[in-house]
Structure 1
Amino acid sequence: MRRLKLPVTIHQARLGPVEFKVIRPAVPPVRAVLLDRDRYLDAYLDQDAAYLTGGLWLLAASSPRSLVHLPMRCNRAPAHGRPEAGSRQLDLVLLHHSLQFAPARWKALRARLGPGRPQTVTLTVPAPAPAGGSPADDGARHHRENRDLFHQHLHSETLFMTGSAKVFRATAPRLLDVARHGPGYVAAHPGHPHFCTEFHSTGGVLGAAREIHVEYCDRWSPHG
């Protein structure tokens, strides 16, 4: 298995009697956008942002007592992915379901975060899961009490992706594949330079959550 080093900042902030730990990338990505399209979500990432997002996915799997925050709602969108009327750009927070954090408290917590403490974490990148799966696996994923599904909440211009360590770890390779294979695919297919991954409603990883389309993008404005 491969190792991935991820520079982050660790933030501690208190809301009432409870202290929360928030982890952010040391250098937030500039070429990364998450769009709320109402019925679904669109993400556009360059290679560095895709590696970073995949790393944060793995970090969320191994940090069940932390909120992993990817600030990007103020980034400039690529030309072909501009917000439409009624859509909006979002930040992203990844968290374990056992933390039971109320998204309505996020705005107050975010306002209390200071510069943070720098740290480099080393993550183990899992091998991609084989396509398909046994019927037993599929049945377990769709069991009504199963927690190995993503659930989403939207609050304070932020998408909260709540899940288990298992589902974060299992889906992180999808984002890392965008980073690894997106640039080569786009260069080899100039007529149709579209490389993406999807969190689809039939994919067995979404519970109370909208579909997410994640696209590699290498064409950004000079200022974005």
Structure 2
Amino acid sequence: MKLPVRVHRARLGAEEYRVIRPRRAVERAVLLDQDHFLNGWFDRGAARTVGGLWLLAARSPRSLVHVPIRRNRPPAAFARAAGEDERLDLVLLHHSLQFPPARWKELRARLGAGVPRTADLPEAEGAVAEAAEAAPRDRHHREYRDRFHQHVVAGTLFMTGSARAFRETADRFLDVARHGPAHIRAHPASPHYCAEIHHLEGVLAPHGRGLHLEYCEHWAA
């Protein structure tokens, strides 16, 4: 996968931070904060882009990966279900960066136009097939450290984890992109196709909220 991105740099006091964003707007993607869980809808292109950014976060431990989608409107078919729930951006970052989410709004305001780059992500092609083999058996052990910690700050869901955690969950988005379109064509009477990062699988820190990721093909203006 070749993923067009922009690389931004901004300072907060003595620290300089590197922020990576997709170069093209991810328009057909929405993530909602619905209290006990996080619910998202994506078309094929958006799910593939976010899956690529998930993999990019795995190999970019010194960067914050920002997916600006909070101003997108939900698909017309799900607008009622979305109600007044808060729409969220995504920020993906390695735990070693130790960036305080409370300072995100300040950093976000300092980002300029950025520099265009292209990320080469060959691992994206095999991510879905390899996911089951990669899943560790020790996720539920108390000492297991490759878990995501979540924070919601300034209209943004922070997913803070290890490279391993990002690599082993990027397949959920890529699966939606790869199989969602064919599923709804084959099953028009029951067109629901989704993937989850489930709180019971051991990849989220205690009290973490699962992510439900649903494919949606029709996005009315």
**TM norm. shorter chain > 0.5:** yes
Are the counterparts in 1 of residues 197 and 211 from structure 2 also a CA contact under 8 Å?
A: yes
> SS of 1:154's equivalent?
strand
Please name the residue that 2:31 is paired with.
34
Query: What whole-Å deviation, never above 9, does each CA across 1:85-133 have from its counterpart, x for those lacking one?
Result: 4x11000000011111100000000000000000001012244346488
For residue 141 of structure 2, the aligned residue among 140, 143, 159 is 143
After TM superposition, give the deviation of residue 154 of structure 1 in Å. 0.6
Question: 2: CA distance between counterparts of 1:133 and 1:15?
Answer: 37
Instruction: Give the fraction of aligned pairs with identical amino acids, expressed as a percent.
Output: 58
Structure 1 residues 115 and 203 mapped into 2: Cα distance closer, same or farther (>3 Å)?
same
Please name the residue that 1:74 is paired with.
71
The yes-or-no answer on 1:43 pairing with 2:37 is: no
After TM superposition, give the deviation of residue 144 of structure 1 in Å. 2.7
* TM-score of the pair, normalised by structure 2: 0.93
Amino acid at match of 1:103: P
Question: 2: CA distance between counterparts of 1:81 and 1:155?
Answer: 24
Please name the residue that 1:216 is paired with.
215
After TM superposition, give the deviation of residue 76 of structure 1 in Å. 1.2
Please name the residue that 2:57 is paired with.
60
Please name the residue that 1:178 is paired with.
176
Please name the residue that 2:4 is paired with.
7
Q: Which runs of 5+ in 1 are unaligned?
A: none
Q: How does 1:95-110 map to 2 (within 5 A)?
A: 95-110=93-108
After TM superposition, give the deviation of residue 52 of structure 1 in Å. 0.1
After TM superposition, give the deviation of residue 49 of structure 1 in Å. 0.1
Query: What whole-Å deviation, never above 9, does each CA across 1:184-209 have from its counterpart, x for those lacking one?
Result: 10111110101100111221211142
Structure 1 residues 130 and 16 mapped into 2: Cα distance closer, same or farther (>3 Å)?
closer
Amino acid at match of 1:36: D
Question: 1: CA distance between counterparts of 2:90 and 2:203?
Answer: 18
Please name the residue that 2:113 is paired with.
115
> SS of 2:17's equivalent?
strand
Query: What whole-Å deviation, never above 9, does each CA across 1:54-73 have from its counterpart, x for those lacking one?
Result: 00000000000000000000
CA RMSD of aligned residues (A): 1.6
The yes-or-no answer on 1:20 pairing with 2:17 is: yes
Question: 2: CA distance between counterparts of 1:116 and 1:132?
Answer: 37
Q: Which runs of 5+ in 2 are unaligned?
A: none
Question: 2: CA distance between counterparts of 1:133 and 1:72?
Answer: 29
Query: What whole-Å deviation, never above 9, does each CA across 1:132-163 have from its counterpart, x for those lacking one?
Result: 889xx43x212333221111001000000011
Structure 1 residues 15 and 166 mapped into 2: Cα distance closer, same or farther (>3 Å)?
same
> SS of 1:141's equivalent?
coil
Question: 1: CA distance between counterparts of 2:20 and 2:131?
Answer: 31
After TM superposition, give the deviation of residue 219 of structure 1 in Å. 1.2
* TM-score of the pair, normalised by structure 1: 0.91
